[in-house]
Amino acid sequence: MKIIKVKDQLEGAKVGLDILKEQIAAGAKTFGLATGSTPVEFYNQIINSDIDFSDKTSINLDEYVGLDGSDEQSYRYFMSQHLFNEKPFKENFLPDGKAADLEAETKHYDAIIEAHPIDFQILGIGHNGHIGFNEPGTPFDTTTHVVDLTESTIKANARYFECEADVPKKAVSMGIASIMKSKTIVLMAWGEGKSEAIQAMVEGEVTESMPASILQKHDDVIVIVDEEAAKLLK
Ligand code: F6R
């Protein structure tokens, strides 16, 4: 793992943009994308850049079960607002959280990932070490699956909803095995609240109880952390 420590989120987003540009220059065509607060400034930097995504593909990590893409809390809506409306791609894939047959949807999403190998994957990390919605205890060999969100993730995500009860209890998430197949992975983390997860991910044991720790086994992972998220690192 390569660790890049930055002053703050803005500097980190700019570092992320430089890496993205290098990847595109080297031929990257398929981008694995994340939602949540972590990549928002990175997406702003992309919007304000001259990068053209019209021949590029995006594949998002996850989507809530039960929310339609037009629902303001859905991840598809989030991506449209924060990136896709300003930077059109050739195609944008997210799991269909409204699929009548969710098991079939997970297989369909795996086929999409298989057909579009991810060159560059952007990740955030949960306080409990989740990546995508792969919560602690998820087997490392998991592909796309339906997840029961943990209490801690529901609480953390309640800030986007009117009340905690409105947060969906399930999501469809790309699995850890698929994330690990990405050629290059950039994980970003900002703020003290992520410092324990970052320490465990970088310096701790590789264990399914800390999903992000598997990234120690990937040979091209760049971790961009601000001073607070990095504060427990040796
Ligand atoms: C989002 C995702 C999650 C988030 C994580 C951190 O698509 O897959 O793993 O990256 O929950 O969320 P934030 O960035 O809101 O702290």
What CATH number is given to the structural domain containing 27?
3.40.50.1360
Is the distance from the beta carbon of residue 95 to the nearest atom of ligand 1 less than 6 Å? no
Q: What are the beta bridge partners of residue 188?
A: 224
Reading the block at residue 21, the tokens are 């540009």
pLDDT at 111: 98
- Protein residue with its CA nearest to atom 9 in ligand 1: 132
Q: To which H or E segment does residue 58 belong?
A: strand 57-60
For residue range 39-94, list pLDDT tens digits in order. 999 999 999 999 999 999 999 999 999 999 999 999 999 999 999 999 999 999 99
Beta-strand runs (E) in 116-220:
120-123, 145-148, 170-173, 184-189
Q: Is there a domain that residue 158 lies in?
A: yes
Q: What are the beta bridge partners of residue 31?
A: 58, 120
Is the distance from the beta carbon of residue 82 to the nearest atom of ligand 1 less than 6 Å? no
| Weakest-pLDDT range from 30-34, 82-86, 157-161, 177-181 | 157-161
Q: Is there a domain that residue 152 lies in?
A: yes
Q: Is there a domain that residue 231 lies in?
A: no
Told to judge if 130 belongs to the known catalytic residues of this protein, a careful annotator would answer yes
Q: Is there a domain that residue 234 lies in?
A: no
pLDDT at 76: 97
HSE-CB at 55 with a 13 A cutoff on CA atoms is: 4
Q: What is the pTM of this model?
A: 0.97
- Protein residue with its CA nearest to atom 15 in ligand 1: 36
Structural domain of residue 143, as residue ranges?
Answer: 2-226
In this structure, the strands spanning 221-226 and 2-6 are parallel
Choose among 211, 229, 198, 181: nearest CA to 1: 198
Average pLDDT value for the chain: 97
Reading the block at residue 63, the tokens are 């989507």
Helix segments in the chain, DSSP class H: 9-25, 40-47, 75-79, 102-115, 151-157, 176-180, 195-203
Structural domains in the chain (count): 1
Q: Is there a domain that residue 233 lies in?
A: no
Task: Give me the catalytic one of 128, 134, 157, 226.
Answer: 128
Told to judge if 68 belongs to the known catalytic residues of this protein, a careful annotator would answer no
Q: Is there a domain that residue 232 lies in?
A: no
Cα–Cα distances (Å) from 89 to 71, 187, 191, in that order, read 21, 22, 31
Q: How far is the CA of 55 from the centre of ligand 1 (A)?
A: 26
User: What is the distance between the alpha carbons of residues 29 and 149, in angstroms, rounded to a whole number?
Assistant: 31
Residues whose CB is less than 8 angstroms from the CB of residue 5 and which lie 6 or more positions away in sequence, other chains included: 225, 226, 227, 230
Q: Is there a domain that residue 188 lies in?
A: yes
Q: Is there a domain that residue 150 lies in?
A: yes
Is ipTM over 0.95? yes
Q: Give the model's confidence band at 200: pLDDT under 50 very low, under 70 low, under 90 confident, else very high.
A: very high
pLDDT at 54: 98
Is the distance from the beta carbon of residue 130 to the nearest atom of ligand 1 less than 6 Å? yes
**Which of 9, 130, 178 has most ligand 1 atoms within 8 Å of its beta carbon, as the pocket-test mutant?**
130
pLDDT at 11: 98
How buried is residue 64: exposed, middle or buried, by Cβ count under 10 Å (0-12/13-18/19+)?
buried
HSE-CB at 52 with a 13 A cutoff on CA atoms is: 2
